[in-house]
Structure 1
Amino acid sequence: MSLTKEALQHIEQSHKTGTEVANGHALVIGDQFSLQDMEKYQDQRRRFRGKFSTKGLGDFTHYLGERAAAKTPVFIDRDDMAARCYLDIGSHEAPGHCDHAAILSLPKTPEFIAFHRANGNTFDQEGMVELLEDWGHLMTFANSKGEALELRKVIHAFRKVSIDDLTSIDSEKQEHSSQVGVMSKVTVKNAERLPATITWRLAPYEGLDERNLEMRVASLTKGGPGFRLRAMALDAAEQEIAGEFASRIEEALPELECLLGSFSP
């Protein structure tokens, strides 16, 4: 008995369908010979997979300390205050799948967020008073002479500040010319009661140490009393904060390989 071409193809497909491949971890099925992963039908996974994400520095280092093998690299991104580790990264000779990751994204504290919002901002009297009422417990104050000021008195001074507008016009007539000089001087009354600098004492990120951050206070007189706050040497301070972040991870995970940078598997 002879078989048609279609019958032979059917027998061939029937034979191949259900064939085990990949050491029994998958089957070839269907007319298109697609692969079916059999892992979900097994008692256990072939390997551990998962992603642990946290905002807690202590939780991140504890997780790795309990699970990561010695010399596993931890990639620390100082710019984003983040870190990442692939616990199954393997080696050059035996690379892993990078399916098991631990990720840290360190959040700013509410106090540091408030500091950044105030930096570069202009406040009227009411706005300055509200800022001090909300965050004054973190602040110390000094006037232009370097004298310390009390929070209660500083709030009172901002409430009572007023503007003097002194204008004088001097006119001088000469035989062949005339000159009119206009001098306008705007001053803030009781300036010595207002702070020239504000020092914030805060922890910038959760899990990091408290530190002092200074702001310069400038008085603005156009359109009424106003005040601009500007952080002093903030870039340098943030570099120090990033260095502390990296050091905390390195100190907590001495058996691992801590590297500055990022890695994409």
Structure 2
Amino acid sequence: MSLSKEAIQLITDTALEATGKPLATLVPTVVLPESARVIDLEKYQALRSRFRGTFSTHSLADFSAYVTDRATTAARGFINQDEMSCALLFNLGDVNEPGHADDRAVLKLKASAGYKAVQAIAGERLGQKDLSDWIEDWHQYLTPVDDAGNAIPIAKAIAAVRTITIKATSESETTVGDTSASRSAMDQIEARSKETLPAALQFHIVPFEGLTEQRITLRISVITSGSVPVLKLRWVGEEVQREEIAQEFKSVLEEKIGTAAKLTLGSFSV
């Protein structure tokens, strides 16, 4: 007596249902009917098979506390200084015993409002009102200074920016000889203000939470090529100062985390 394909499949399914063949995996699994489908039984357990998940924060203090509490010998952190971020993997493992790398903590520092304002205005072409309004908005963090580095009161600095005028003068010289004549002309354009115009603005801010205060120098230049003055703020030593902030980020992380994890500059993709 021969059996049909359907009858054989029914017998196989019935046998699998009765035995529920277990598989040798960390997460409990069994083989069930429907073409020997593998079913993950973790959701039916009282507890998960292993701890995993991602903790994300903008707070350096909270990130450090979490990493310290979860300290393991295998924890590895990767610092991206350009992004001011750190990704820490608690179960990365090693070459001989690689982990799943799905238990992690991620820190992404959030720039302070003042630091964002500096980055947004540096190098921009500004009208007199634009700059005077900006100085007024951020006056509590600003110290206007003259060429000698002497402080100028905020009120006078704002008045100086608002009262800039452009003065143009021309000078012409003509020389006449018996057989020749020459003429030279020189135009001079000068920007002046009724008050002493600041040479620079010193901005005192904490760029990111958890780091120390920085003094950012914004040198003022006046462009006189048009009918009205245009002002620019140049961030003096911008690249060097950005590198110093990034280096401080790494140093503070190492100090706060200590031996809870090994930190490396770079990034890691799973």
Scaled by the length of structure 2, the TM-score of the pair is 0.90
Q: What residue in structure 1 maps to residue 10 of structure 2?
A: 10
Separation in 1 of the partners of 2:194 and 2:78? 50
Instruction: Indicate conservation of the 8 Å contact 2:221/2:233, yes or no.
Output: yes
**AA partner of residue 155 (structure 1):** I
- Aligned-pair CA distance for 1:89: 2.0
Runs of 4+ more than 6 Å apart: none
Please list every run of 5 or more consecutive structure 2 residues that lacks an aligned counterpart in the other structure.
none
- Aligned-pair CA distance for 1:251: 0.6
**AA partner of residue 152 (structure 1):** A
- Aligned-pair CA distance for 1:11: 1.9
**AA partner of residue 103 (structure 1):** V
Q: What residue in structure 2 maps to residue 253 of structure 1?
A: 257
Aligned to 1:153, what secondary structure does the other structure show?
Answer: helix
Aligned-residue Cα RMSD (Å) equals: 2.0
Cα distance change, pair 247–191 in 1 and its aligned pair in 2 (3 A): farther
Q: What residue in structure 2 maps to residue 244 of structure 1?
A: 248
Instruction: Indicate conservation of the 8 Å contact 2:52/2:103, yes or no.
Output: yes
Q: What residue in structure 2 maps to residue 131 of structure 1?
A: 134
- Aligned-pair CA distance for 1:80: 0.9
Deviations along 1:9-34, whole A, 9 cap, x unmatched?
A: 43234433543324571232343322
Q: What residue in structure 2 maps to residue 264 of structure 1?
A: 269
For residues 145-224 of structure 1, what are the structure 2 equivalents within 5 Å?
A: 145-190=148-193, 193-223=196-226, 224=228
Deviations along 1:43-97, whole A, 9 cap, x unmatched?
A: 1110011110000000100001011213521111111110011112234433221
- Aligned-pair CA distance for 1:155: 0.8
Instruction: Indicate conservation of the 8 Å contact 1:144/1:192, yes or no.
Output: no
Separation in 2 of the partners of 1:8 and 1:71? 50
Separation in 2 of the partners of 1:121 and 1:216? 12
**Identity among equivalent pairs (%):** 32
**AA partner of residue 35 (structure 1):** V
Equivalent residue pairs, number: 265
Separation in 1 of the partners of 2:6 and 2:73? 59
Q: What residue in structure 1 maps to residue 231 of structure 2?
A: 227
Cα distance change, pair 10–27 in 1 and its aligned pair in 2 (3 A): same
Separation in 2 of the partners of 1:193 and 1:5? 98
Q: What residue in structure 1 maps to residue 105 of structure 2?
A: 102
Please list every run of 5 or more consecutive structure 1 residues that lacks an aligned counterpart in the other structure.
none
For residues 56-135 of structure 1, what are the structure 2 equivalents within 5 Å?
A: 56-70=59-73, 72-135=75-138
Deviations along 1:153-177, whole A, 9 cap, x unmatched?
A: 1111111221111123333444444
Scaled by the length of structure 1, the TM-score of the pair is 0.92
Aligned to 1:222, what secondary structure does the other structure show?
Answer: coil
Instruction: Indicate conservation of the 8 Å contact 1:143/1:192, yes or no.
Output: no
Aligned to 2:258, what secondary structure does the other structure show?
Answer: coil
